């Protein structure tokens, strides 16, 4: 086991192959189906609001939030795991390994693809603090949060739980997420950089 660990995480600075991630997601999904639960991160917003007691004034939040403790633990574990992986598993990884076509697209938009995990051209305080950046951040945050609750789940909930249960609304939602990503890439990001 130690040899496998060393090959995957110590000797190689490459990321895990897709089939490891896919197998892990499938195992989590099977366990959740066996337990009668569904996967999704955005449902934690409802749980956190229910914990504040707002359910006494709004029926949507009148749920037994203690039943969702496992999902809050999953959310916390995801954040801790992401932090640990970024800081300790791949300390020398400074940039993403992007295809040539993606690098050319980013360069055509004025984004340096070799600077790290996120583009400073979009996420610098100068850009986020501009009037357009503030409006886009607030409107985008509202639309993502509202849309996830209105659709009954976020991207992970629909794409993993919904599609694995062959739910047509989840397929429609995932197609909508993809279209939204294309709109962001080709219309919103150039507008922000404009």
pLDDT digits (tens, 9 = 90+) for 38-60: 777 888 888 888 899 888 898 88
Buried residues in 133-172 as b, exposed as e (16+ CB within 10 A): beebeeeeeeeeeeebeebbbbbbbbbbbbebeeeeebee
pLDDT at residue 59, rounded to an integer? 87
* 152 or 173: which leads in pLDDT: 173
What is the average pLDDT across 122-150? 81
The pLDDT-based confidence of 95 (bands split at 50, 70, 90) is low
List the one residue out of 25, 29, 60, 28 whose CA is nearest residue 45: 60
Q: How far apart are CA 80 and CA 74, in angstroms?
A: 10
Return the SS3 of 76: helix
Q: How far apart are CA 96 and CA 92, in angstroms?
A: 11
- Cβ atoms within 10 Å, residue 185: 13
The pLDDT-based confidence of 29 (bands split at 50, 70, 90) is confident
Owner of token pair 């409006």:
135
List the one residue out of 86, 91, 92, 95 whose CA is nearest residue 116: 95
- What does DSSP assign to residue 130? S
Q: How far apart are CA 160 and CA 40, in angstroms?
A: 8
SS3 content of the chain, % helix, strand, coil (to 5): 70, 0, 30
CA distances from 36 to 39, 77, 89, 105, 132 (A): 10, 20, 33, 43, 44
Q: Which of 27-36, 90-99, 179-188 has the lowest mean pLDDT?
A: 90-99
């Amino acid at each position: 086991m130690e040899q496998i660990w060393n090959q995957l995480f110590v000797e190689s600075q490459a990321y895990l192959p897709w089939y490891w991630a896919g197998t892990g997601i499938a195992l989590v999904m099977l366990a959740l189906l066996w337990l009668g639960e569904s996967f999704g991160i955005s449902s934690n917003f409802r749980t956190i609001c229910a914990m504040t007691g707002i359910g006494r004034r709004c029926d949507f939040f009148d749920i037994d939030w203690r039943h969702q403790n496992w999902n809050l633990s999953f959310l916390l574990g995801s954040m801790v795991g992401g932090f640990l992986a970024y800081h300790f598993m791949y300390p020398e990884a400074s940039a993403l390994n992007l295809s040539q076509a993606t690098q050319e697209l980013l360069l055509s938009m004025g984004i340096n693809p070799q600077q790290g995990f996120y583009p400073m051209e979009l996420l610098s305080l100068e850009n986020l603090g501009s009037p357009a950046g503030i409006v886009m951040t607030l409107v985008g945050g509202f639309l993502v949060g509202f849309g996830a609750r209105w659709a009954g789940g976020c991207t992970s909930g629909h794409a993993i739980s919904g599609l694995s249960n062959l739910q047509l609304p989840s397929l429609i939602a995932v197609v909508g997420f993809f279209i939204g990503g294309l709109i962001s890439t080709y219309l919103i990001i150039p507008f922000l950089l404009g």
